[in-house]
Amino acid sequence: MFRMISDIGTDAMKDEAKLARMNTLQSDIEGIYAKATVSFSDGQTLALEPGLTQLMASSRNYTKLQEAWIGWRDNTGKLMRDKYADFVTLSNEGVSSLGYHDTGEYWRSWYESPTFEPDLQKLLEELKPLYSNLHTYVREKLMDLYGRDKFPTSGQIPAHLLGNMWAQQWNNIYDLVIPYPDKTSVDVTPELKNQSYTPLRMFRTAEEFFKSLGLLPMPDRFWNKSIIVKPTDRKMVCHASAEDFYNQKDFRIKMCTDINMEDLVTIHHEMGHIQYFMQYKDQPVPFRDGANPGFHEAVGDTLALSVATPKHLQTIGLLNSVENDEGSDINYLLSMALEKIAFLPFGYLIDQWRWSVFSGETPKDKFNDKWWELRCKYQGVSPPVERTSTDFDPGAKYHIPSNTPYIRYFVSFVVQFQFHKALCEAAGQTGPLHKCDIYRSKEAGTKLGDMLRLGSSKPWPYAMEALTGQPNMSAKALMDYFAPLTAWLEKQNAGKQVGWQDACSNQRHAPLSANEQQAKKWLTEYNM
């Protein structure tokens, strides 16, 4: 049901004027985000894609990163706080006539579970040790690079140093934290460029994976009507998206494709939505949805877990040699953890914040305090500079101005490992889960297709059981996948201060004295 009446106001809002006002606020807020750029002190002006995204990914200049981080928030969130508060009020009025207390309760209803919130909390708690170990390992490396005096004594990592505008995934700082630099590195971005991959060839490569499982190819109309490169003749919101036109033949992706590994994964993600649209196209319209929104987000990412393996990348000619030793294995698992484990607290906290706003628990003057309370506590990241209540940092993340629910991604990052495990078993793959590649397995494709064709015609636990043999969300498959890395990180972090205090402190660590630096250098060399 989440897709049919997602802009709930259309059906329920009796007062046309209020509906018009809500839609005006929503499009004003989205317009602020879409037009935002950052002008730097050196005269350069960058938009989010590709400029700021590439800067946050590749710059190692503390001050430049900080300027981009502050500038983006000044030109997005800061300009929308009051409008957002008004939007929240009208959105809640819209759903109240449907019998929901507030918009958050309506959004949670799509998961059809009275224990949805405690289930999520339990999953995050189970995954916290793994996240803390990754956080500690990365923090140590970043402290060495940027200096301890940049880091708060409470243990958080400054949010602008993690290779991403929102610190939501840390794959772009892999080069700063790679455990065994002389072993296979799995980043195939240079190879994609060497082989002059085009956006179209990246899309065709993804389609070929789906077809190898016996799943449906992209129809001609998809190829004719999709937009896969940033247009030059007009403005377009570059944030990738997949659209279902509900006419059983029109399905499209819009995306400003960059030639890199991150976008190859995103293409699989978007194509996963298209595959789901096509598989349930013959269901009655109300059932042309994912079993729940998290399932819809998990399809493409599940297949990308196979595609990203060194073995698969070698199969498709993007990696020439694969070394099967512990070092290469840890390198690969760490690169996957920077994308998947790093994301978990972020994926969880966005709607914890938003639900608290919709419920009235967090009033306008507390919007930003609540945001940083959650960011400091769950994600262990801190603002590089002091934030005030007139800032509105949640508004700097696409899904807040676009009013797109987010807990679906937390659900997806958990269930995609359950799906992967089930498909690997169907494909007869018996080795470690992180080495499994279901490429060309018709058994796996049939099992997945059968689940996708259900759409939302059955409750999601039924679909979960059909695919995995049991009805619940479970962190076990994810923890099995990363088990070798967990052991390695625990060894690396032995003797280190693991974790952080709930609240961010303003106090920074003192810089190392000269002989402390010398001692650290000897220790590092000795340990090596």
Ligand X SMILES: CC(=O)N[C@@H](CC(=O)O)C(=O)NC[C@H](CC1(C(=O)N[C@@H](Cc2ccc(O)cc2)C(=O)O)CCCC1)C(=O)O
Q: Which is nearer to ligand X, 143 or 237 (CB)?
A: 237
The answer to whether 240 contacts ligand X (rule: CB under 6 A) is: yes
The answer to whether 241 contacts ligand X (rule: CB under 6 A) is: yes
Q: Which is nearer to Zn ion, 297 or 329 (CB)?
A: 297
Quick check: 362 and 107 in contact, CB under 8 A?
Answer: no
Q: Which is nearer to ligand X, 70 or 350 (CB)?
A: 350
Q: How far is 206 from 228, CA to CA, in rounded Å?
A: 13
> Can you tell me whether residue 292 is helix, strand or coil?
coil
Which amino acid belongs to residue 48?
L
Q: What is 151-180 written as a DSSP string?
A: SBTT--EEGGGSSSTTSS--GGGHHHH-S-
Q: How far is 215 from 423, CA to CA, in rounded Å?
A: 13
Q: How far is 375 from 68, CA to CA, in rounded Å?
A: 19
Task: Name the token pair of 257.
Answer: 């494709």
280-319 binders of Zn ion (CB under 5 A) = 297
Q: Give the nearest residue (CB) to ligand X.
A: 241
The item of ligand X, Zn ion, none sharing an interface with residue 409, based on CB under 5 to 8 Å by kind, is ligand X
Q: How far is 429 from 310, CA to CA, in rounded Å?
A: 16
The item of ligand X, Zn ion, none sharing an interface with residue 132, based on CB under 5 to 8 Å by kind, is none
The item of ligand X, Zn ion, none sharing an interface with residue 32, based on CB under 5 to 8 Å by kind, is none
Identify which of 169, 137, 134, 167 has the alpha carbon closest to the alpha carbon of residue 340: 169
Q: How far is the CB of 224 from Zn ion (least distance, A)?
A: 22
The item of ligand X, Zn ion, none sharing an interface with residue 427, based on CB under 5 to 8 Å by kind, is none
Count of chain residues binding ligand X (CB under 6 A): 15
The answer to whether 354 contacts ligand X (rule: CB under 6 A) is: no
Catalytic annotation present for 509 = no
Strand pairing category for 157-158 and 45-47: unpaired
The answer to whether 178 contacts ligand X (rule: CB under 6 A) is: no
The answer to whether 296 contacts ligand X (rule: CB under 6 A) is: yes
Catalytic annotation present for 425 = no
Q: How far is the CB of 301 from ligand X (least distance, A)?
A: 5
Which amino acid belongs to residue 92?
N
Residue the block writes with tokens 């419920």: 359
The contact mask relative to ligand X for 256-285 (x = CB under 6 A, - = no) is: ---------xx--xx--x------------
Q: What are phi and psi of 113, to 5 degrees?
A: -145, 120
Within its chain, how far is the Cα of 266 from the centroid? Answer: 10
Q: Which is nearer to Zn ion, 73 or 273 (CB)?
A: 273
The answer to whether 337 contacts ligand X (rule: CB under 6 A) is: no
Q: How far is the CB of 232 from ligand X (least distance, A)?
A: 22
Q: Which is nearer to ligand X, 136 or 218 (CB)?
A: 218
Could you tell me the CA-to-CA distances from 384 to 25, 393, 410, 486, 506 in Å, in that order? 30, 12, 25, 29, 10
H/E stretch holding 444 reads helix 442-453
The answer to whether 298 contacts ligand X (rule: CB under 6 A) is: no
The item of Zn ion, ligand X, none sharing an interface with residue 240, based on CB under 5 to 8 Å by kind, is ligand X
Query: Residues with catalytic annotation?
Result: 270, 399
Question: Which residue ranges make up the site for Zn ion (CB under 5 A)?
Answer: 297
